[in-house]
Amino acid sequence: MGKLTVFNHVSLDGYFTDAKGDMSWAYEGVDEEFSAFTSENARSGGGGIMLFGKVTYDLMAAYWPTPAAEKAMPDVARKMNSSPKVVFSRSMDRAVWSNTKFVKGDVASEVWKMKNESDMIIFGSGTIVSPLAEAGLIDEYDFIVNPVILGKGRTLFEGMSKKLKLKLTKSRVFKNGKAHLCYEPAV
């Protein structure tokens, strides 16, 4: 059975976007140490399918295939562009980014089927994290906590109707104030 991981940047007050949907704050304060960590993750990360909601897919597809992305973060750009991608959207049916497939069905039941095929990772995509977490399908929550307080925004867990207990499995604090925290569901 494949592993499903959520990877996301969050603010200190728990938001993954600000009130206007912006995430640029997550890329502030990137230094040499954090860039090396990001590149190493892209190079050493296993294969797998990238899962997106429509909004995150549109943002990622607008950036990663560009020369600016290749210049700024070549390892990450190569990984993002070459990996298979699945977008959960009832309205989209045309890909602008390579290796993209669209799924219109129920997110939890579709991901359950996909877990038999491959490891998967979710970037952003608040509309799919919550139902997958509630269904118990997420195996790892991998967060970069940024030293910023937004006051308002969107949480990845909007709409959760039950408490989800987690256990910390790994952590690292960077000189720039960002913290990498990995959790698994507590048994």
Q: pLDDT tens across 87-107, in order?
A: 998 888 788 899 999 998 889
Provide the CATH number for the domain around residue 77: 3.40.430.10
Question: pLDDT per residue over 61-76, tens digit each?
Answer: 999 999 999 998 888 8
Number of domains in the chain: 1
Task: Note whether 170 and 184 are within 8 A (CB).
Answer: no
- Parent domain of 124: 4-185
The answer to whether 85 and 57 have CB atoms below 8 angstroms apart is yes
pLDDT tens-digit map of 111-150: 999 998 889 999 878 889 999 999 999 999 999 999 999 9
C-alpha 171/C-alpha 142 separation (Å) is: 10
pLDDT at 46 over 80: no
- Among 73-82, 144-153, 172-181, the least confident range: 73-82
Q: How many CB atoms lie within 10 A of CB 34?
A: 18
